[in-house]
Structure 1
Amino acid sequence: MVNVPSGRIVLSDRRTERKWTVDVAACRMSAFPITQSQHARVTGLRPSASAGERFPVESVSWWDAVRFCNLLSEQEGLAPAYRLFDGEGIEWESSANGYRLPTEAEWEHACRAGTTEPRYGDLDEIAWYRANSEERIHEVGGKQPNAWGLYDMLGNAWNWCWDIYDAEIYDTYRVLRGGGWYDEHWSCRASVRRRSHPTFRMDDVGFRITRSDPAA
């Protein structure tokens, strides 16, 4: 987990051409996407399509990621961030000190690491994507981190975020950020938003975790 300082980020949506500003509080974020070995240690499960201890865990739904956060919190004696109800009910306990998914504002703020360009470095140096991945996933940390010490923010595996993408059009679909190993270069940019149903599992989608308390 690394410290992400507070800041302000302008989010944008290409479909609606809408822009909105979000103030982001300081937090801590995992330096790498959650790996298959970490996921197995917490849950006992190995769902990924491509096996590798240091590969990002993938083929995990948004709900799988949420449950991982709560399990890890409980195992470390922290207050779970999410209250789960029957069916698809969920509440985020914002005062809890446990692990959670980043909001998309937190994710983009952390990805940019103080920069204003579409990427925090040369894409071939910072990301696994279609042009250099040999169309397969890779171990985390194989490319250069951003200025705040976060690896694989772009490429390798998309990251689930907490937010609903667009409730009016897409109902409960959740936000994905970052691009993956099979994506073209234009999908691997800090501002790109993708969506998926929270129950869907895909071999290029994983997640990283966040905690609200920067001193934790």
Structure 2
Amino acid sequence: MEMITVPAGEVTLSDRRTERSWTVGVESFLLSPVPVTAGETSRRPAVDVSWLDAIRICNELSEREGLTPAYRLDSLRWDTSADGYRLPSEAEWEHACRAGTTGPRYGPLDEIAWYSENSTESAHDVGGKKPNAWGLHDMLGNVWEWCWDIYDAEVYGEYRVLRGGGWFDEHWSCRASVRRRSHPTFRVDDVGFRLARTL
């Protein structure tokens, strides 16, 4: 499976709800250039995938390729030493999305993303818009992407982070810094995920 090496770096995350920001160091890792698709012959992103579905799929793909699964499903723990497929952390996701840029987006929105104004109300084949400087497509728009992280345990319990915006969203949701959250069993037609691996 083709993956892109994302260089190490540092990213500042922010949350508009709490008006909080925090800086995170990111080690180099591997990330798929596009979201996971609905099947081997399909170029449409897999949707209606819950966070729990996504981590199960990561483990299944790892086992199929002889890699060590990243997740212990009985305890919902991430084995950070495993070489198998996994979800990116929230910091990894934003660092990869920005690809060295500092603005809200890595390019003009219509050129890089499917969103409410150009999607004709559906997901589109992955990789059809311009990639960022590191060769990653659809980091903004098309489908929201699950990240590993819990959003805010004190307020939202087990809710997990979603990033990137989807085909249904207005332009203001399709920005590198936007954070959303949902329950790990939540499924909807504009949420998917992207594969990562630890180097």
TM range (shorter): over 0.9
Confirm whether residue 5 of structure 1 aligns to residue 7 of structure 2: yes
Aligned twin of 2:178? 192
Q: CA deviation at 1:205?
A: 0.1
Q: CA deviation at 1:212?
A: 0.7
Cα deviation per residue 1:104-135 (whole Å; 9 max; x = unaligned)? 00000000000001000000000000001111
1:18 pairs with one of 10, 17, 20: 20
Aligned twin of 2:128? 142
Percent of aligned positions that are identical: 70
Q: CA deviation at 1:84?
A: 1.3
1:102 pairs with one of 75, 88, 107: 88
SS state at 1:37 partner: coil
Aligned twin of 2:160? 174
- Hey, which bits of structure 1, 4+ residues long, moved more than 2 A? none
Partners of 2:17 and 2:108 in 1: how far apart? 27
Aligned twin of 2:48? 59
Partners of 1:147 and 1:126 in 2: how far apart? 11
Stretches of structure 1 that go unaligned for 5 or more consecutive residues are 39-51
Stretches of structure 2 that go unaligned for 5 or more consecutive residues are none
Q: CA deviation at 1:209?
A: 0.7
Q: CA deviation at 1:91?
A: 0.9
SS state at 1:10 partner: strand
- TM-score by length of structure 1 reads 0.90
Aligned twin of 1:49? none
Aligned twin of 1:133? 119
Confirm whether residue 68 of structure 1 aligns to residue 57 of structure 2: yes
Give the alignment's Cα RMSD to 1 decimal.
Answer: 0.8
Aligned twin of 1:35? 37
Confirm whether residue 157 of structure 1 aligns to residue 159 of structure 2: no
2:102 pairs with one of 113, 116, 127: 116
